[in-house]
A and B are shown apart, each in its own frame.
Chain A
Amino acid sequence: MEQKLFDTNVQWIKYKVLKEVIRRAYEGGLENAYLEIPKVISPGPKSELNCCIYKERAIVQERIHMAMGGDKENPNPVQVMETACDECPSAGMLVTPACRGCLMHACQDVCPRGAITIVNHRCVIDKSKCIECGKCSQACPYSAIIAQHRPCMQSCKVKAISINEEDKAVIDNNKCISCGACVYKCPFGAITDRSLVLDIIKMLKESENNTRYRVYAVIAPAIVSQCRFGRITQVVTAIKKLGFHQVVEAALGADITLYNEAREFREKGEGAVMTTSCCPAFVSFVEKNFPEFKDAISSSVSPMVTTAKLIKHSDPTARVVFIGPCAAKKGEYTLAKTGGMIDSVMSFEELQAFVDARGIDTTQCEDTILDNASYYGRIFAKSGGLAQGVAYVAEHLGIEGVKPVAMNGIDQCRMQLSLLRAKKATANFFEGMACDGGCIGGPLCITHSPRNVVDVDKYGNEAKEKTIDGSVRLYKMSMGEDNE
């Protein structure tokens, strides 16, 4: 397997550490992980990344710690690795030596706060006046003014990251929505999601080949965009080879979520306003930033939980592991409202490491048919999919007045909910997705290519069920609901 599998080198290092930890969990040597893995990852003698090989290995040790569960006292699955944090400069607007002290000084003209003066043929920015709007940077014909921000803080749309006295990044759990944007954006890979993979391995081993209890994998629909090596049907086989009894699509639960949300909308009656509840980072965003709309969040549980409910109803001793692109799911599954339906969560990155650590070649796996869900359930993976689905279901059930809007990423969520707050919103059904593009842009996706959305549409179209009827029938029967 080569590095090109992933978008970034940070993911590649994370993968190598995970793979080594998983390999040792099966083949032995986990007790020496902290001592031996750093030397495998950073053989030395010279450091390629840091001041010395010792620091580089210390950072690998932090990565091993996160791969083995991270700080378990911290309820937030997204955590900062202190040694890895490179204390990036955050000077704000900075004039570089490229400034030629020109006659035009467009920078000065464009500055809305009069923060720029020309001293000794050089542009000088008065920090007490500067609001870091970036206009000077755009105006300079020499590109001599740059914005020096910490990528983690830039990526965080809820301003949960600050800098402590040691210049290290700190996450404020009261603000953080665990979306994981910083995990993907930190260029030093110093913020990461805790891995639960060792718990999962233990669960699989103790099931004694699914004889003591059965372990099911519930896969997020975004997985189809991640199958760069092998087909989705081969990936399903690979997951089963890891020791899972069965692979079920979360899209099945998504079908049922659509049905429940459309009905809930009808029950709310005239003037109803509703938001979706399937993206845990979005739900957390609403709770922390728009608490007045807490009651508007759909009361239906996420597709992940619905799917697990169906499984556990038919197989009460079952264990369920969700496999997805999402950091927030690693927090959601522990919440009381999920009723303990999900036993653990694995990311796509971790799945790749797991499959490779077990020596499974996906391209050589036979195909396992995967068909539990409808077109609509499957396109939940992209922004707009749910809105499209709920419009369809509302029409199907004869529910009138649903005006959906897809909020793609936290910035759009904030904008639409602000409109709602100001009573200026034109929509009344708000699909919220914290990640840009939806789950296919999730922080723990292996790739974030523009092709992902094409793959999701294709996968949706391949569904045998073009409507959600089959899934709903199954749900009603399982849950003992009467036919309407």
Chain B
Amino acid sequence: MTIKVCVGSSCHLKGSYDVIEAFKEVLKKYDVEDLIDLQASFCLGHCAKGVTVLCEGSEPAARGPQTEVCDEGFILHGVNAQNAEELFATEIYPKLNLN
């Protein structure tokens, strides 16, 4: 799966780089670095909704309030360093079908 963190100006100001770091940590912690390609993206077009993360080729596992299904997969809104792990664990990790 590819995860793209928006680093457009608006998300950058809201802390994209912290989100990238947080995701790096989380991927390491869950030992899924080989399964997920973490990338940056220049503006995903959801500037008003906080830092945006696009998860390609998958559906959100829990379909929580911060998710939105789109053509490429689904989008996580309002991501920050604090909620990154929770969002990963509930929406992304189950979809990796590791069990």
Count A-side interface residues using an 8 Å CB cutoff: 20
Closest partner residue, chain B, to A313 (CB atom): B39
B41 near A314 with CB under 8 A, answer yes
Residues B20-45 near A (CB distance < 8 A): 20-21, 24, 38-43
A369 to B9 CA separation, bound complex (whole angstroms) = 6
B17 near A371 with CB under 8 A, answer no
Residues B52-92 near A (CB distance < 8 A): none
Contact of A478 among B8, B9, B40, B43 (CB under 8 A): B40
Count B-side interface residues using an 8 Å CB cutoff: 17
Contact of B13 among A313, A369, A477 (CB under 8 A): A369
A370 near B40 with CB under 8 A, answer no
Residues of chain B within 8 A of A216, CB atoms compared: 42
Contact of B12 among A314, A371, A477 (CB under 8 A): A371
A314 near B39 with CB under 8 A, answer yes
A474 near B40 with CB under 8 A, answer yes
- Answer whether A314 and B17 are a contact pair too, CB < 8 Å, given A369-B10, A477-B40: no
Q: Report A150 CB to chain B, min CB distance, Å.
A: 46
A14 to B20 CA separation, bound complex (whole angstroms) = 46
Closest partner residue, chain A, to B4 (CB atom): A314
A477 to B70 CA separation, bound complex (whole angstroms) = 25
A370 to B10 CA separation, bound complex (whole angstroms) = 7
A477 near B39 with CB under 8 A, answer yes
A441 to B46 CA separation, bound complex (whole angstroms) = 37
B6-18 vs A, Cβ < 8 Å mask (1 yes, 0 no):
0111101100010
B17 near A473 with CB under 8 A, answer yes
A246 near B40 with CB under 8 A, answer no
Contact of B9 among A315, A371, A477 (CB under 8 A): A371
A315 near B38 with CB under 8 A, answer no
B39 near A372 with CB under 8 A, answer no
Closest partner residue, chain B, to A307 (CB atom): B42
B42 near A315 with CB under 8 A, answer yes
Contact of A474 among B9, B10, B17, B24 (CB under 8 A): B17
A26 to B68 CA separation, bound complex (whole angstroms) = 36
A470 to B11 CA separation, bound complex (whole angstroms) = 13
Q: Report B37 CB to chain A, min CB distance, Å.
A: 9
Q: Report A264 CB to chain B, min CB distance, Å.
A: 23
B41 near A473 with CB under 8 A, answer no
Residues of B at the A interface (CB closer than 8 Å) are 4, 7-10, 12-13, 17, 20-21, 24, 38-43
Q: Can you name 10 A-B pairs with beta carbons within 8 Å?
A: A310-B42, A311-B42, A314-B39, A369-B10, A371-B12, A371-B13, A470-B12, A474-B20, A474-B40, A477-B24
Residues of A at the B interface (CB closer than 8 Å) are 216, 245-246, 248, 310-311, 313-315, 368-372, 464, 470, 473-474, 477-478
A314-B42, A370-B9, A478-B39 are known contacts; what are 15 more A-B pairs with Cβ within 8 Å?
A246-B42, A246-B43, A311-B42, A314-B4, A315-B42, A369-B13, A371-B9, A371-B13, A473-B17, A474-B7, A474-B17, A477-B20, A477-B38, A477-B39, A478-B40
